[in-house]
Structure 1
Amino acid sequence: MWTIRTSPRLSQSIGPRRRERSHSHLARAAANLVNPKKGKTSYAQRKLLMNMRLIFNGIAVATMVCTASAEQPNIILMMTDDHGWGDVGFNGNADIITPNLDRVCDQGARLYHFFAAAPVCSPTRGSVLTGRHYYRYGIWGANDGRLPRQEYSIAQGLKEAGYTTGHFGKWHVGSPHVDYRGKGGGGRADRLALPQWYGYDKHFVTHHAVSTWNPYGEDGRNAETTDNPYWEDGKRVVEKLLGDDTRIIMDRVIPFVEKASKEDKPFLSVIWTHTPHSPLRAGPEYRKMYEDKGLTGKLLDYYGALTALDEQVGRLEAKLRELGEWENTIFWFCADNGPASHVRDGGHEKTGGMRGKKAHLY
């Protein structure tokens, strides 16, 4: 499941950020990975340019060519976790409530031949950041290995092109802090992969999945018992984090985009949600939406958490419209590896009729 939303109005001038170039904003996004001072690329930059070409060309085919006065577009890369292809309204699911994702998708392009890089979480994420196959950078599975520090990421390239960059939500390509002691090699120097190493100005991340509702637990102690807290700009988050986890993530994204807009800087915002990965819970109001539809069991949490996520997509869109940034933003939405197998209530098939799930090679 991959969709990209851009606006045909992206070619219009919205503010003073202009780049007088003769190519489209998407070609420019790739071209800006070139060292702006010397007009040359390093070996690492050339690798990234080659491997990111598919993403940028896919976006370019889906959108109109912009005029020479177009701005550098903002870029949002949003990825859900263990999300089934069939579990959004725009792919034909009549039960799930995802009006915001459906609307954004209807405004954009559906890339049905753009596939995940790997059948599990971490390798896909590393490939999105670098444009490289996981075989080349050495993350073979979930909670296994780390992104080598010498890898050149899309965040580094865009930062060099003048973007402000942020990563929010799941990290899962290595230990996010020297004090992390959880699963996946916590405490080992050879498993460190600090977000700031890869070009991020701002980060609010966990190493791996947390509960999709009350991620720190009702008493705020879950992060201590699992040793999987949020880390914000190099510091452990100790405040109680209650309610929907995607809302908690978006509470950090919104100030980030507001600040970038105020400073008139283009931004890259990578938003990797934990929803709908286990431990999967939805808030009472979201469960009730599906109880009223006659659904039962695990589907109440699965669908409920996805509807809560959809609300945050709408919240982000509304904020970007308020800031005047929506029409100059590329919004890229995908899942990481297909659905897990833990929700099968009522014969529900999360793949939308396709064979295979998470960890399958097809």
Structure 2
Amino acid sequence: MKFLQFILYFCFINVLTAQNKPNILLIVADDLGWGDVGYNGQTKIKTPVIDALAKQGMVFKSFYAGSTVCTPSRVSLMTGKHTGHTRVRGNVNWNETGKPIDIIAKDITVAEKLKEAGYRTGVIGKWGLAENLDEGKPNKQGFDEFYGFNTHIGAHHYYPDSIWINDVKTRIEGNNFKLKEKHYIQDNFTDQAKSFITSTKEQPFFLYLAYTTPHFEITVPEDSKEPYKNLGWPIRNIKHHRYLHDTNTHVSYAGMVSRLDTQIGELLDLLKNMGIEENTLVIFTSDNGHMYDDLNDEFFNSNGPFKGKKRDLYEGGLRVPFVARWTGVIPQNTTTSHRAAFWDLLPTFCDLAGVSSTKDTDGISLKPTLLGKHHQKKHDYFYWEFNEIKGPVQALIMGEYKIVKKYQSPTELYHLKTDVSEQNNLAIKHPNMVKKMEKKLKKVRYNDPNYPLEKLNQTYD
């Protein structure tokens, strides 16, 4: 009798645990700056849905992307490692070989871990980690469903003539990327996300929704431009051999961000109407700092108080907006100064799903912070490296100090608590701190012949 009671109790606990596993909706914008959203001080671009999401959940004031460009940042997100340990540390051909490097079968992704916990997994939008269309493809990396772009460059047109549906490249009827005709791909992403959510039954889901907004090219349908026309904004036109930008890109950029905001609202409404809002963790963030705003003549102030933007390892290139909402679980209208990064999300999701994390993650679960607890473990350091055009750059944060080490240049030292804009280089005043942190730099990365800390010869096409 006691044995039977034990079995029934064990089954009850397992059912209860399965019911408590949250759905996870991870929304990642592309090249959206920290200052491009209203809750971070944006005044020109309207983002009412994202701002409301911030009030409904928790805002991380010091959250960092995995890298300062798309591909390595997304690898960090998927594998829970910083760029001193990831297989991919740069975009497309920026490595010693000059050929694309992808993640491979033995790289364990967050999707593979969540499948162990019984999740249905999907990725919609920009994957960008399968340039060779081989082991890096989403369906080989733990995702049940895929609708989007396997490759990096392919994701940068908003009216593409084809898209990947799982393992099949499929034509989008009527689309012409040169004429910007018919289906704006971000709308397709939203529709596919709705379909994935509504078709998931009797198991929790993990949906990685990787919008390409507002990455170049700067273009958006006319209805999203209307609120920003006739405001007297200065005209900015950008010419580029690869991207087919709209004319008057200030208006289009604002329209892109606001359209993204509206689309997120549609998804949040769906969760509410389906009655699963209270069992869904929604996270909104960006893959790196902004690209659009001209730092010499800022219009949107896309980087807020921070120095730099995309392709910089200053705060403007790395610090990104981050909001987490789990209705009834995460305290509403709260902020945290806990410093965290992309590589923390894999162990966090594993912790919430009740499955062990990967052994070699650089991340730390954010579950205590999200639940409003006070026993959150902190990182000893944060590390990034990046190598394009001007040669390798490394950055390291320890406590409130940050160093930026550029190729063949003196190391820069900043105290982030008192100088978040990184204006006051303290390297000369604190040589011992510089020495200590430079010593740490040598220990926190694996030497990879594909990513030497020397200048590469690759160029942009």
TM-score, normalised via structure 2 length = 0.56
Instruction: Say yes or no: does 1:121 pair with 2:77.
Output: no
Instruction: Say yes or no: does 1:196 pair with 2:139.
Output: yes
1:247 is aligned to 187
The code of the aligned residue for 1:355 comes to K
Distance 1:84 1:355 in 2: 12
Distance 1:292 1:345 in 2: 24
- Matched position secondary structure for 1:205: strand
Let me know the Cα RMSD of the aligned residues: 2.5
Query: Structure 1 69/171 Cα, relative in aligned 2: closer, same or farther at 3 Å?
Result: closer
Distance 2:155 2:101 in 1: 23
Query: Structure 1 344/114 Cα, relative in aligned 2: closer, same or farther at 3 Å?
Result: closer
Larger radius of gyration: 2
1:314 is aligned to 265
Deviation at 1:313, TM superposition (A): 0.3
Contact 2:79-2:108 within 8 A present in 1 as well = yes
Between the two proteins, what is the percent identity of the paired residues? 29
Distance 1:100 1:176 in 2: 37
- Matched position secondary structure for 1:281: coil
Contact 1:170-1:209 within 8 A present in 2 as well = no
Query: Structure 1 334/311 Cα, relative in aligned 2: closer, same or farther at 3 Å?
Result: same
Instruction: Say yes or no: does 1:332 pair with 2:283.
Output: yes
- Matched position secondary structure for 2:33: coil
Query: Structure 1 94/299 Cα, relative in aligned 2: closer, same or farther at 3 Å?
Result: same
Deviations 1:267-293 (A, max 9, x none): 000011111111120111111211143
1:14 is aligned to none
Contact 1:281-1:305 within 8 A present in 2 as well = yes
Structure 1 unpaired stretches of 5+? 1-17, 22-66, 179-191, 217-222, 224-228
2:168 is aligned to 235
Contact 2:38-2:51 within 8 A present in 1 as well = yes
Distance 1:69 1:119 in 2: 37
Query: Structure 1 176/267 Cα, relative in aligned 2: closer, same or farther at 3 Å?
Result: farther
Distance 1:200 1:118 in 2: 23
Contact 2:126-2:155 within 8 A present in 1 as well = no
1:351 is aligned to 303
Contact 1:212-1:275 within 8 A present in 2 as well = no
Instruction: Say yes or no: does 1:109 pair with 2:109.
Output: no
Distance 2:219 2:295 in 1: 16
Deviations 1:128-151 (A, max 9, x none): 111112332321211241112211
Deviation at 1:68, TM superposition (A): 7.3
Structure 2 unpaired stretches of 5+? 1-10, 93-99, 176-181, 236-247, 315-461
- Matched position secondary structure for 2:284: strand
Contact 2:71-2:152 within 8 A present in 1 as well = no
- Matched position secondary structure for 2:63: coil
The code of the aligned residue for 2:276 comes to E
Deviations 1:15-38 (A, max 9, x none): xxx9737xxxxxxxxxxxxxxxxx
Contact 1:86-1:93 within 8 A present in 2 as well = yes
Instruction: Say yes or no: does 1:265 pair with 2:209.
Output: no
Query: Structure 1 212/133 Cα, relative in aligned 2: closer, same or farther at 3 Å?
Result: closer
Instruction: Say yes or no: does 1:155 pair with 2:107.
Output: no
Equivalent runs, 1:65-76 vs 2, <5 Å: 71-76=20-25
Q: Give every structure 1 segment of 4 or more consecutive aligned residues whose post-TM-superposition deviation is greater than 4 Å.
A: 67-70, 209-214, 341-346
- Matched position secondary structure for 1:330: strand
1:20 is aligned to 13
Distance 1:305 1:231 in 2: 23
Deviations 1:295-315 (A, max 9, x none): 343111111011111111011
Distance 1:266 1:173 in 2: 25
Query: Structure 1 272/323 Cα, relative in aligned 2: closer, same or farther at 3 Å?
Result: same
Distance 1:176 1:168 in 2: 19
1:299 is aligned to 250
Between stretches 137-146 and 236-245, larger displacement belongs to 236-245
Distance 1:88 1:347 in 2: 15
User: Is the strand fraction higher in 1 or 2?
Assistant: 2
2:454 is aligned to none
TM-score, normalised via structure 1 length = 0.70
Distance 2:158 2:67 in 1: 29
Query: Structure 1 146/68 Cα, relative in aligned 2: closer, same or farther at 3 Å?
Result: closer
Distance 2:267 2:132 in 1: 25
